[in-house]
Structure formats: structure tokens, C-alpha cells
Amino acid sequence: MMKLANAVFLAALLTSTAHAQTNAGEQPADPNLPFTITKVASFDLPWRIAFLPDGRMLVTEKVGRVQLVTPQGDKTELKGVPASWFQGQNGMLGVYLSPHYAKDHNVYLTYVAPGEYGGGLALGRGQLVLDDKQPRLDNFQVLWHQMPTGKGGQAGAAVAFSPDGKYLFLTVGDRQRFTPAQDPDQPVGKILRLTLDGKPAPGNPWAGKVGARSIPLIDPPADTEAAKKAPVVSTYTFPGPNLTPAETWSTGHRTPYGLAFGPDGRLWELEHGPRGGDELNLIKRGKNYGWPLVSYGVNYDGVPIPSPDTRPDLVKPVIYWVPIIAPGNIMFYKGSMFPQWNGSALISGLASETIIRVTFDAKGGATATNRWDVGKRVRDIEEAPDGSLWMVEDAKPGGLYRLTPR
């Protein structure tokens, strides 16, 4: 049975069917909300929710904390959490339970760790201890760390575990530096596929390949054109082999904040465009998703970017948004409280202050089916064990809210 499940999973990842694209940017909001929104607690720039089996949750705050939270909103700060670099879009970001949490009680964190120059995305893991004393993460260790550290936001920091529980996929944003997203020797602008211990996973498209020993570091330039001639501020030399090529699953990503497997084993990624051009991508092994070579948006300063329609060698998004929604995360619903949504994805919107429901077909196509205005910058939306939905608001203070059917 496990061999069959693995075969289905790999087939879904490797399929190369072409899909019709849609621009969902002008989608009107549904006039009525199908859920009631109840505020439960407040946080300082909450980022991500991870539910424990008993209904309690872990909530990250970008300012550098992880909170243990009851369904009633009582909060206790976790100890044993690593230091993070809180600046702009950086800080304490993702929290994810191990796929084997029932046995190992491991919790994964993604955060921007401080460095000698700016910061770098890090992935770490610790064992959650919930006893009569202070809740804490024991034996926390860094499993993967972006090097070199540097300036810029757009860290990515989303994690999705493979359906067989053997591997993890980690998104690494371009850190607002543009061109390194196309450099195979640099991890920025990539989706990585790693073992649960943070090592390059077997079966990756460039498995066993080693990258350049030294790589250039640039500061965030003004736009995609300026990036082509940005001055090198330093050169970083790896102390050992540069494993970036062996870790890489896909390339050409900008700000990949959402990552999730659908019920059919396909991997979906959600990322910000520049001024326009947010994307929902079907992720396939070894493919290039185009950033910063192409985009359906333009640079913030108005400098144009070639359209994806000009580059058939690059993978186009299945859905894009012009104007933007500024997506926060994507999750697939499988609960009983909203049974009509089973198998659908829910997307959280920041600047758009929306929740969007996306439905899928058997060929890898997707449709933005519903759009609900909720009046809050929704950073994350997640499903609780009872099937209710919970969201956090990107604000300081930002609310934690429970969503139940009307």
C-alpha cells in the first residue's frame, strides 16, 4: 500500500500537463459571508498557526515569539525558541508539526536568523514539551541555514511535508535581490526538497551536484533591470561543499509564502508578484517558474517586466492576480464543519483583506471560485481538529479569529 501511495505521489509531482490560465484579479467578492468571525485573542504581528491534536495551537509572532494558545485565547510563551532578526518582513515566521508528531513531538520553525550582515532564513527543529512547568522546545537545532546572510525581506519560509512523511519542501524567497532566483548556486528564489533532518533529499533533479564554492552577495536593488548590474558588496565562500543544487526542487520564485499538498498529491505554491502578478503555481520537479525574467506584474517603480507569454520555456502560473491579492498562505480543507469545501484550497489575502476559495480539476487546473472580503489583513488561515477555521491578522496588535458556519 505504501509503495502504491508513493507511486501516486511521484506521478502527481512529475506530470507535465499544460493548463489554461486565468486572471482572478478582478473577481468580485461574494455578497454574503458563509461564516461567522469571532475574535479570540490578540498578538504582535502573528504569522502562522499550527494546531496540536488536543485543539490547542502554536502561534508565531514575527517579533520573535512562539505562543501556546488555548481555544479560549489563553497564551503562554514557549521557551527554547531561537533568536530571530526582526526587521521589516523578517522575524519569527513559520511553525509546523512533524508528520510524526504523535511519536516524536517535534516542531519545525522557520525564521530569519541574525547574521554578521543582515539575516538569513533558517529551518530548525525542537521537541515540544508540555508539562506542569513552562512549555518549551527542548534540544532545538538548526537544520538548514541560508548563507550568506544579507539585507532584504521576502524570506519565503513555508514548509510542506510530502504525503509519505519522508521529506519536507521549504520555500526560500528571493530576499528582494531578483537575479539570484535564477542562479543555481544560490538557494534564494527556490523551493528546496530536504530530508526531515535538513539534508538534500534523494531523487532531487540535481541530486549529487555541488555548486560554486564562492558566490556573490548584492543588496536589494531598485528593480529587475537594476539588479542585472547591481554591485557585489561581498563574496561568500562556503566552508564546505555548496549543496544548493542538490537541495533544489524548483527555481525562479519571488516571495513564496504558501505551500501545500492537495489531496491528490499535487504540490501547490502561492507567491507575491511585484506590482501585480501574484501567482498560484503547480510545482513540478526541476521546473523554472520565471522570476525575475518574466512576470504578469511590473516593478514597483513602473519599469516593465517581460510577460510569461514571451517565454514558453518557463512555467506559467495556473492562476494569477492583476491587481494583486497579496497572498499570505494556502491550505486544503478536509474537515466536517464546512463539508461542501472538502478538497478545496483556502487562500489568505493581506492587502486585499480577503479569503479566497480555489477548486481543482483532475488535470491540475484550478479556479478561484469564491472571494470573501473580511476587512482584515489575513496572514494565515488554518483548520482546527474540529473542522473550524482560524485566521490571524497581520497587524500589531493582530487578532486571532475563529470562523464557524452561519
Q: Residue 81: inside a domain, yes or no?
A: yes
Q: Residue 219: inside a domain, yes or no?
A: yes
Q: What is the pLDDT, as a whole number, of residue 133?
A: 79
CATH of the domain at 283: 2.120.10.30
Using CB atoms within 10 A of its CB, is residue 335 exposed (0-12), middle (13-18) or buried (19+)? middle
Q: What is the pLDDT, as a whole number, of residue 21?
A: 86
For residue 17, name the pLDDT band (cuts at 50, 70, 90): very low
Judge whether residue 11 has pLDDT over 90: no
Q: What backbone torsions phi and psi does residue 221 show, to the nearest 5 degrees? A: -85, 180
pLDDT digits (tens, 9 = 90+) for 259-297: 999 999 999 999 999 999 999 999 999 999 999 999 999
Burial 365-396 (b: 16+ CB within 10 A, else e): bbbbbbbbebebbbbbbbbbeebbbbbbbbee
**Cell 513564496 sits on residue:** 256
More confident residue, 12 or 112: 112
Number of domains in the chain: 1
Q: Among candidates 248, 282, 279, which has minimal Cα distance to 262?
A: 282
Q: What is the pLDDT, as a whole number, of residue 18?
A: 52
Q: Say how far apart CA 261 and CA 255 lie, in whole Å.
A: 18
Judge whether residue 153 has pLDDT over 60: yes
| Range with the poorest average pLDDT among 4-18, 225-239, 325-339, 383-397 | 4-18
C-alpha 130, offset from chain centre: 27
Quote the domain boundaries for residue 63.
Answer: 2-20+44-322
Q: How many CB atoms lie within 10 A of CB 238?
A: 17
Q: What backbone torsions phi and psi does residue 329 show, to the nearest 5 degrees? A: -160, 170
Q: Mean per-residue pLDDT for 71-78?
A: 98
Q: Mean per-residue pLDDT for 105-125?
A: 97
Judge whether residue 303 has pLDDT over 70: yes
For residue 20, name the pLDDT band (cuts at 50, 70, 90): low
Judge whether residue 2 has pLDDT over 70: no
Q: Mean per-residue pLDDT for 19-46?
A: 94
Q: Residue 110: inside a domain, yes or no?
A: yes
Q: Residue 207: inside a domain, yes or no?
A: yes
Is the peptide bond preceding residue 397 cis, with omega within 30 degrees of 0?
Answer: yes
Judge whether residue 13 has pLDDT over 90: no
**Cell 483583506 sits on residue:** 353
Q: What is the pLDDT, as a whole number, of residue 14?
A: 46
Q: Say how far apart CA 232 and CA 329 lie, in whole Å.
A: 33
Q: Residue 274: inside a domain, yes or no?
A: yes
- Answer left, alpha or beta for residue 185, where phi above 0 means left and psi between -120 and 50 means alpha: alpha
CA atoms within 13 A on the CB side of 300: 8
pLDDT digits (tens, 9 = 90+) for 83-110: 999 999 999 999 999 999 999 999 999 9
Q: Mean per-residue pLDDT for 204-229?
A: 97
What is the DSSP annotation of 90-121? Answer: BSEEEEEE-TTHHHH-EEEEEEEEE-SSSEEE
Q: How many CB atoms lie within 10 A of CB 165?
A: 11
Q: What is the pLDDT, as a whole number, of residue 131?
A: 86
Q: Residue 63: inside a domain, yes or no?
A: yes
**CA 326 vs CA 157, 163, 272: distances in Å:** 16, 27, 6
Q: Residue 236: inside a domain, yes or no?
A: yes
Q: Residue 210: inside a domain, yes or no?
A: yes
